[in-house]
C-alpha cells in the first residue's frame, strides 16, 4: 500500500459504526481459526486469511471452510458505499493519519531518534495497517485507544531496534557480551559452549548471549555494499566491543557460514537483497529500495510497505532454516 497517498479524513459516526461492524466480523473469523489451531500464532493465521502469506496449514476437512472465510474477509475489506466507496484499510488510515504524524513529529522533535519524520510516519502508518485486524470491537478499548497504544509501542521498538533488524542487541546485551569477553580472557582454555554454560549469568541472560553470538555472526558475514562477500567481517563493531578471541561463534553455530544459511533459506533475489541491506542499514534505506525497484505485475515502483513485507518474509525463512539446524535465534 502506498502510504504517501494517504490524506486526512475523519470518519462520521455512521462510518465508525460500519467500520466497527466489519472489524467485528473479521476478528470473529480470525478468532475462530485461532481457537481451532491454538498452537499457531494469531499473526500467522491473520496473515493467511488477509492473503499476505500461505504459511497456514490446516487439516484437509477444514480447507474448503478456510477458503470461504478468506473470500469473506476479502469482501469485507473491499470498497463499500457506506464508506464513500472506499475500502476498510483506506478509511481507517485516512482517519488516523493525523495520529500517525503526531507521533512521528513528537519522537523526532524530542530527538529520541535520528530517523526522519517521514520514516517515522511510515512506521506509524504501517503499524495502523498491521494492527487494525487485531482489534476486538467488543473489547475494552476503542479503536482510537487501541491504535494510540499500538503506535506508541511501535515508536519505542523502532527507536530501540534501529539498525539491528535481526539482532537482539541492546544496552543489556552489550553488558552481557562484555561479561562474556571478560570471562573468556580469564578462561582461555574453555570452548564457547563451556564458557556460556559456566559464566555467572542467569538462564535468561545465557539465552540472550547465545542469540547475540549467533546473530552477530550472521551480521558480520553478510556482505556490505561493494563487498564481494569473500571477506568475513567477524567483529563486534556494532556493539562497540573488541573482537572475541578464538572461534567462539563458529563453534556455537557448528561452523555454518551465513551465505550457506541464506542459500539454504530459499530466498528470492529480492528477499536476499532486502535482508542484506537491512543488516547494513542507513536511515531511508527502505525508501531507496522502493524507489529503485519496479513491480513485475504493475510496472510501477513498489511501496515502502512492500519492502517491509519482503524483509519479513526473508527473516521468517532464515529463522526456519536456523531452527532446522538447532539454532533458536
Give the C-alpha separation, 97 to 124, whole Å: 9
| pLDDT tens digit sequence for 20-36 | 999 999 999 999 999 99
Q: Is 76 helix (H, G, I), strand (E, B) or coil?
A: helix
197: phi then psi, degrees, rounded to nearest 5: -70, -35
Give the C-alpha separation, 51 to 71, whole Å: 9
What is the pTM assigned to this prediction? 0.50
Cβ contacts of 67 within 8 Å, gap of 6 or more: none
At 313 the pLDDT is 86
Give the mean pLDDT of the chain.
76
- The strand pairing partners of 301, in sequence order, are 294
pLDDT bin (cut points 50, 70, 90) of residue 171 is low
Mean pLDDT of 24-50: 91
Closest CA to 129 of 95, 163, 80, 156: 95
Give the C-alpha separation, 262 to 170, whole Å: 25
Angle at 52 between CA 32 and CA 307, to 5 degrees: 145
Q: Is 296 helix (H, G, I), strand (E, B) or coil?
A: coil
- The residue with greater pLDDT, 59 or 222, is 59
pLDDT at 16 over 90: yes
**How does DSSP classify residue 86?**
B
At 272 the pLDDT is 85
Give the C-alpha separation, 262 to 166, whole Å: 13
Give the C-alpha separation, 77 to 90, whole Å: 10
State the cell numbers at 328: 533458536
Domains of the chain, earliest start first: 3-161 (1.20.120), 171-324 (no CATH)
State the cell numbers at 126: 504501517
Cβ contacts of 86 within 8 Å, gap of 6 or more: 79, 80, 94
- List, as one string, the DSSP characters of 305-329: HHHHHHHHHHHHHHHHHHHHTT---
pLDDT at 266 over 80: yes
Burial environment of residue 99 by CB neighbours within 10 A (0 to 12, 13 to 18, 19 or more): middle
pLDDT at 229 over 70: no
pLDDT bin (cut points 50, 70, 90) of residue 94 is very high
Mean pLDDT of 121-125: 90
pLDDT bin (cut points 50, 70, 90) of residue 14 is very high
Q: Report which secondary-structure segment, H or E, holds 198.
A: helix 192-198
Q: Is 107 helix (H, G, I), strand (E, B) or coil?
A: helix
Q: Which CA distances in Å does 262 have to 147, 168, 214?
A: 35, 19, 14
Most confident among 131-145, 192-206, 233-247 (mean pLDDT): 131-145
Closest CA to 225 of 157, 182, 181, 289: 289
Give the C-alpha separation, 250 to 210, whole Å: 12
- The residue with greater pLDDT, 118 or 80, is 80
Give the C-alpha separation, 70 to 54, whole Å: 11
**How does DSSP classify residue 301?**
B
Amino acid at each position: 500500500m502506498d502510504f504517501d497517498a494517504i490524506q486526512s479524513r475523519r470518519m462520521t459516526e455512521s462510518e465508525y459504526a460500519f467500520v466497527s461492524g466489519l472489524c467485528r466480523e473479521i476478528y470473529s473469523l480470525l478468532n475462530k481459526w485461532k481457537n481451532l489451531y491454538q498452537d499457531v500464532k494469531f499473526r500467522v493465521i491473520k496473515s493467511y486469511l488477509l492473503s499476505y502469506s500461505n504459511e497456514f496449514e490446516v487439516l484437509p476437512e477444514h480447507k474448503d471452510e478456510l477458503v470461504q472465510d478468506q473470500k469473506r474477509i476479502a469482501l469485507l475489506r473491499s470498497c463499500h458505499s457506506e464508506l464513500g466507496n472506499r475500502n476498510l484499510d483506506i478509511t481507517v488510515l485516512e482517519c488516523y493519519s493525523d495520529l500517525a504524524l503526531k507521533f512521528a513529529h513528537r519522537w523526532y522533535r524530542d530527538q529520541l531518534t535520528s530517523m526522519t519524520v517521514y520514516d517515522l510516519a511510515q512506521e506509524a502508518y504501517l503499524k495502523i495497517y498491521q494492527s487494525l485486524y487485531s482489534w476486538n470491537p467488543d473489547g475494552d478499548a476503542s479503536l482510537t485507544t487501541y491504535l494510540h497504544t499500538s503506535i506508541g509501542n511501535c515508536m519505542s521498538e523502532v527507536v530501540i531496534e534501529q539498525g539491528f533488524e535481526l539482532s537482539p542487541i541492546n544496552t543489556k546485551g552489550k553488558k552481557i557480551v562484555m561479561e562474556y569477553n571478560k570471562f573468556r580472557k580469564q578462561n582461555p582454555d574453555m570452548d564457547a559452549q563451556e564458557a556460556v554454560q559456566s559464566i555467572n549469568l542467569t538462564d535468561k541472560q545465557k539465552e540472550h548471549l547465545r542469540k547475540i553470538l549467533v546473530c552477530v555472526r550472521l551480521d558480520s558475514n553478510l556482505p556490505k555494499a561493494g563487498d564481494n562477500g569473500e571477506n568475513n567481517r567477524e567483529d563486534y563493531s556494532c556493539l562497540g566491543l573488541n573482537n572475541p578471541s578464538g572461534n567462539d561463534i563458529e563453534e556455537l553455530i557448528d561452523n555454518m557460514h551465513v551465505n550457506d544459511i541464506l542459500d539454504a533459506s530459499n530466498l528470492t533475489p529480492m528477499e536476499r537483497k532486502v535482508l542484506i541491506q537491512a543488516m547494513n542499514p542507513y536511515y531511508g534505506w527502505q525508501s531507496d529500495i522502493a524507489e529503485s525497484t519496479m513491480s513485475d505485475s504493475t510496472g510501477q515502483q513498489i511501496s515502502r510497505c512492500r519492502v517491509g513485507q519482503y524483509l519479513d518474509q526473508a527473516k521468517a525463512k532464515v529463522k526456519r532454516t536456523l531452527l532446522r539446524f538447532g539454532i533458536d535465534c
